Structure 1
Amino acid sequence: MVKQQAIRPNFWQKYTLDELNHAEWEALCDGCGVCCLVKFLDDEDNQESVEYTDVACQLLDCLTGHCTNYSNRQDYVPDCINLTVEMLPNMMWLPNSCAYKRLYNNQPIPEWHFLITQDQLKTQQAMLQAGVSVAGRCVSEVGMPDEELEDRIITWVEVG
């Protein structure tokens, strides 16, 4: 039996990212679903840029914006990112609202984050209002021809 790790109070304010336990690391994810969108990355001259599409991974529930099989996702989608603190310097394509990116850049997590509100419904509603969730705004990659991806580029994900 695996022992459940405790989440320490206000851990995101008291500890560095590399001091977090697995449960705390996972709790930073707000479940926006942006990581699950198909994207075009351009690393020309070390000026990394990204263009997001509204096409989502086959495992993403496009109505809720949540992964339907998170714990086993890499069994079905081998290139799904398992984000680590070591990867963050090369992950600046993450949205500006992302708690991982924000903490890495010494910024506070968004006020609507579940760790602050402690209310999942309030958090989900605030994320929708702020336009940071993919819930109801994406389509599945299942059956999507590759040649249509460029026609599905969106501009509502803020990266900078």
Structure 2
Amino acid sequence: MAAVPKRPSQQQELFWKTKTLEQMSAAEWESLCDGCARCCLEKLECEDTGRIYFTHIGCKMLDAEACGCKDYANRSKKVPDCVRLTPANVRTLSWLPSSCAYRLVAEGRDLYWWHPLVSGDPDTVHEAGVSVRGRVEGLEGEVSDAELEDHIVSWPTLLPKRAKLKKRPA
């Protein structure tokens, strides 16, 4: 996950509505990240069904308060299994949250009111209750692999009611 996205210029303001993921510049692509950090939570896959289960344990590189990577530029070197999102894989990664902007744009849907590109405020993702802030119970390495099953949670796959609203609550 990138640093907090900067609001694009007036000219580029609605690029996610007019461009495909493949047509976006690197800056536009990075700005699509809403900063929720749900993708930075440890996940378990059931060997029998392939179903993905989220935990409330973050990647060792996750800054759980800022909801960002501690070393985004070098994340792949420090965490070899970190999944780098691309226009191709966002269409196939079943574990991406339904609220993920990459997924929404790939599906031809608009961004939610709380997305920083829409609100102009990087804190609205937290205000809407979408981010992992305050919900991470530990980081990778602090919990053994054997104990991860004890940390399975459902909230990363759900969207809070206030996040589903059409506009920012008053």
TM range (shorter): 0.7 to 0.9
CA-based RMSD of the aligned residues comes to 2.1
The alpha-carbon deviation at position 92 of structure 1 amounts to 2.5
Q: Which amino acid aligns with 1:24?
A: E
Query: SS state of the match for residue 52, structure 1?
Result: strand
* Within-5 A mapping of 1:79-158: 79-120=81-122, 124=123, 126-138=124-136, 139-158=138-157
* Among 52, 55, 59, the residue aligned to 1:53: 55
Q: Which structure 1 residue ranges, 5 or more long, are not aligned?
A: 1-5
Q: Which amino acid aligns with 1:89?
A: R
Distance 2:46 2:27 in 1: 32
Distance 1:141 1:81 in 2: 15
| 1:37 and 2:41 aligned | yes
Q: Which amino acid aligns with 2:113?
A: E
- Runs of 4 or more off by more than 4 Å in structure 1? 42-45
Distance 2:116 2:81 in 1: 27
Q: Corresponding residue for 1:18?
A: 22
- Number of residue-to-residue matches in the alignment: 149
Percent of aligned pairs with the same amino acid:
39
Query: SS state of the match for residue 44, structure 2?
Result: strand
Q: Is 1:64–1:136's contact at 8 Å kept on the other side of the alignment?
A: no
Q: Which structure 2 residue ranges, 5 or more long, are not aligned?
A: 1-7, 159-170
After TM superposition, the score normalised by the length of structure 2 is 0.79
Query: SS state of the match for residue 153, structure 2?
Result: coil
Q: Which amino acid aligns with 2:108?
A: N
Deviations 1:106-142 (A, max 9, x none): 111111111111122xxx2x32343321112112113
Q: Is 1:62–1:135's contact at 8 Å kept on the other side of the alignment?
A: yes
Query: SS state of the match for residue 97, structure 2?
Result: coil
Distance 2:89 2:25 in 1: 16
Distance 1:107 1:49 in 2: 25
C-alpha distance 69-130 of structure 1, shift in aligned 2 (>3 A): same
